[in-house]
Chain A
């Protein structure tokens, strides 16, 4: 009674269907590169001061410190969590360094104080989210007020300005010609985070957790540990950024880096990271950081007020997210 059809043979399944180049051409990063070229061209045409090595070098300070945190934030967002306390961690770490400086700590000790404060804050966030299962958006809004609040209590309307001369190198030093220490650090961190996210098992676990934390747990991923590590990373990078920013400004006020958390999250989303978790890349965040830095710089050259800049960044974010959906009818369909 059997039909004519034979039993199916095991089939060979290819690794991949599309070609690598075809896929790259359609990627988010390609779109960002196009935007970057456009921003660069517009800036170059509209201001004679733009295409100047030292001016461009100055422009990098618009994004380097924020981008360092954005790399860690990107991984955290991919894993389905968020850390809104990063700017407050900068404030607390900077305050800790300022206080240590008044006690006569040397430069290496100050850096250690900054980084350890960042790590401690990150560990606290991680504990709240990974151990006590608080939603990260709520937990870190809480610690945002907590960390900056401590900074305000310690400093009031005063400021720490007594930093050793050698400390300034982290924010004002140049490694070679126009290449600043911060720019080098940015590049090194970009590379490290790219390797961590895209080339290690830890990075793979981050994607798994972000796409489906339950199935990740059921696959043997230590989900809580992954999340805790990611909060340590945002804490640590906030500490690094605090060292750079404090060194660059040469002073600490409790309002330092105020509102940065939103710019950093914008950078991450503009970089193509899904705010709901599960996808994104470090390359995209690098491009987004440079775009935001150049836009800010270009507007600065044209004497555009800061509020207009944030309006533009907001529009840019909406446009870059909206355009692909308008162009491709596929993605508009209900899934």
Chain B
């Protein structure tokens, strides 16, 4: 059996109020891909940050080829041959491909100046060796995310990295690009690199990984060879409980129409949208990325102005010119980009929750802090938020818990219509189930729910009706009765429909 090139043992790390890692171990072997699996908040990102020298462990040991090392700075980690490729890879948009690859170790001329000829030549050779057809002199910002990954990998090769960490590398890639990435990972394996592969997608893990390690709540749960485990077993290890019932059963009895949209159009994004939504109903919006679903929702929330059409809320014509208007009318929106649009990072949980309800918690414009805590406590408790304290910075929470804060914030405004845009994107299985259960509960209490989702199981599992959008228009509407994934996909892609029309 080969020696691990990098191994962590007994590593712990605590942040104020949160124990992120507790005596975890992790071994990475040369020429093998190890998948690190766990729910959000399990400690995966903390491990990455420790391996790349961003955080120092409180206790425990990192060994490279059996020798203990100390990563005090990101520089130390890079020197030890550990490199990371993130979702949003840390590269420099304004520099060229070659400069990004050789930043910090550029070839020099006799006079100590950067040898541009050599650098561009070497970069081209390196890119060729990994099968990337990129111009070394292209500006990085002109490249797509897949090409940026390639640059990051080329950089890893150029510093002769021994360990390559890939944190959700396929998150923004197309199917074709993912295939190319797999091929590249094979190349890296053949060269004896140890790869740590972090992903939520099980098909990827079983496709590319040799080994797995599972973390749960900051603890090491299991490790082994991927051939000796099943997806079901991994899920069980991750969540510590079985998840055979994915979607909550609920009684469906929609009430009167609460929201009616007629002839809704936008100059560039969508055209002639008509639908109505009833109390207690979950209406799913499915479609390909760019079909205009989010744009319709953002217009309903007052973020953009439609050019034509009418919105009717509870029998009255609604004039929505800003999110503040929408909230006053009882329409709230849980955005897709949680970190930028949902929560306000840097503000405590309690202020995030109370922000749209300040007119209720304050009196004549003056804050009443006790009321804010009361409100925040009531709604975060309903969502089973996991946090150390209500005045904790919301940025210290995991993605799933941040989403709970966003939902709590809106429920506190007692809305009539809640719009959820990709409500469970990028959050762990446990929080996902909690959000789904909660949606069902809200609907049964009479709230009308609009749910934009690209996850077919979620659409089928949660919706009463489904509207499929294509190219800014409503393609089809389905009652959720015997609805199959194939029906949704062909409606979204326009397969069969166009032929029939032609």
A binding-site residues for B, Cβ under 8 Å: 1-3, 5, 7-8, 10-17, 195, 199-205, 207-208, 211-212, 214-222, 278-279, 333-334
Q: Is B391 at the interface (CB under 8 A from chain A)?
A: yes
CA of A215 to CA of B355 in the docked complex: distance in angstroms?
A: 11
> Which of A3, A13, A211, A333 lies in contact with B388, CB distance below 8 A?
A13
Known: A13-B385, A204-B367, A214-B341. A5 touches B240 (CB 8 A): yes
B389 at the interface (CB under 8 A from A): yes
Q: Mark B341-362, 1 if CB is under 8 A from A, else 0.
A: 1111111001100111011001
Q: B381 — which chain A residues lie within 8 A by C-beta?
A: 10, 12-13
List the one stretch of B199-207, B321-329, B484-492 in contact with chain A. B321-329
On whether the beta carbons of B242 and A215 are closer than 8 Å, the reply is no
CB distance from A11 to the nearest CB of B (A): 7
Top 8 nearest A-B pairs (CB, nearest first) are A201-B358, A220-B327, A211-B346, A17-B389, A2-B242, A220-B324, A5-B240, A220-B356
The answer to whether A218 touches B367, judged by C-beta atoms less than 8 angstroms apart, is no
At the interface, yes or no: B373 with Cβ under 8 Å from chain A? yes
Contacts of B55 in A (CB 8 A): 333
> Smallest Cβ distance from B215 to chain A, in angstroms?
15
Assess whether B367 is in contact with A215, with CB atoms less than 8 Å apart. Answer: no
Q: Tell me whether A16 and B242 are in contact in the complex, defined as CB-CB below 8 angstroms, given that A200-B366, A204-B367 are known contacts.
A: no
In the complex, chain B residues 457-496 whose Cβ is within 8 Å of any chain A Cβ = none
Residues of B close to A279: CB separation below 8 A: 346
A215 and B389 contacting across the interface, CB-CB below 8 Å: no
A218 adjacent to B324 (CB under 8 Å) = no
A-chain residues with CB within 8 Å of residue B303 when the two chains form the complex: 217-218
Whole-angstrom distance from the CB of B91 to the nearest CB of chain A?
16
B367 and A200 contacting across the interface, CB-CB below 8 Å: yes
The CA-CA distance from A199 to B365 in the complex, in Å, is 9
Of all chain A residues, the one with the shortest Cβ separation from B359 is A201
- What would 7 A/B residue contacts be, using CB atoms closer than 8 Å? A203-B367, A211-B345, A212-B340, A212-B346, A219-B344, A220-B356, A221-B324
**Bound complex: CA A214 to CA B390 (Å):** 23
**Which residues on B sit within 8 Å (CB–CB) of A16?**
389-391
- Is the pair A221, B17 in contact by a Cβ cutoff of 8 Å? no
User: In the complex, how many angstroms separate the beta carbon of A2 from the nearest chain B beta carbon?
Assistant: 4
User: With a CB–CB cut-off of 8 A, which chain B residues contact A222?
Assistant: 322, 324
Complex CA distance for A334 and B56, rounded to whole angstroms: 11
Does chain A have a CB within 8 A of B178? Answer: no
Judge whether B409 is part of the interface by a CB distance below 8 angstroms: yes
**What mask results when residues 372 to 413 of chain B are scored 1 for a CB within 8 Å of chain A, else 0?**
010001001100111111111000000000000000010000
Given A212-B344, A215-B341, A279-B346, A204 and B358 contact (CB-CB distance below 8 Å): yes
Q: Is B241 an interface residue (CB 8 A)?
A: yes
Q: Is the CB of B242 within 8 A of A208?
A: no
When distances are taken between beta carbons in the complex, the residues of chain A under 8 Å from B377 are 13, 15
Q: Report how far A149 CA is from B138 CA in the complex, Å.
A: 46
Apart from the given pairs A16-B391, A203-B367, A211-B346, 17 other A-B contacts in the complex at a CB distance below 8 Å: A3-B236, A5-B241, A12-B381, A13-B381, A13-B385, A14-B390, A200-B367, A201-B366, A214-B341, A215-B341, A218-B303, A219-B355, A220-B324, A221-B324, A278-B346, A334-B54, A334-B74
Q: How far is the CA of A16 from the CA of B17 in the complex (A)?
A: 10
Are A221's CB and B385's CB within 8 A?
no
| Chain A residue contacts of B350, Cβ below 8 A | 15
Is there an interface contact between A208 and B344, defined as CB atoms closer than 8 Å? yes
Q: Does B335 contact A (CB under 8 A)?
A: yes
Contacting B240 at CB < 8 Å: which of A3, A195, A200? Answer: A3
Answer whether residue B264 sits at the interface, using C-beta atoms and an 8 A cutoff: no
Partner of B241, one of A2, A202, A221: A2
Give Cα A322–Cα B345 distance, bound, in whole angstroms.
Answer: 24
Cα A205 to Cα B343 with chains together (Å): 14
Is B197 located at the chain interface by the 8 A CB criterion? no
Q: Which A residues touch B244, using CB under 8 A?
A: 1
A13/B358 in contact, CB under 8 A: no
Residues of B within 8 A of A204 (CB): 351, 354-355, 358, 367
| CA A205 to CA B241, docked complex, whole Å | 42
Closest to A207 in B: B347
| Complex contact A208–B347 (CB within 8 A) | yes
Give chain B nearest CB distance to A17 CB in angstroms: 4
Interface membership of B29, Cβ < 8 A: no
Whether a CB of chain A sits under 8 angstroms from the CB of B286 is: no
User: Is B342 within 8 A of A218, CB to CB?
Assistant: yes
Query: Chain A contacts of B344 at CB under 8 A?
Result: 208, 211-212, 215-216, 219
Q: For B16, give the chain A residue with the smallest CB separation.
A: A17
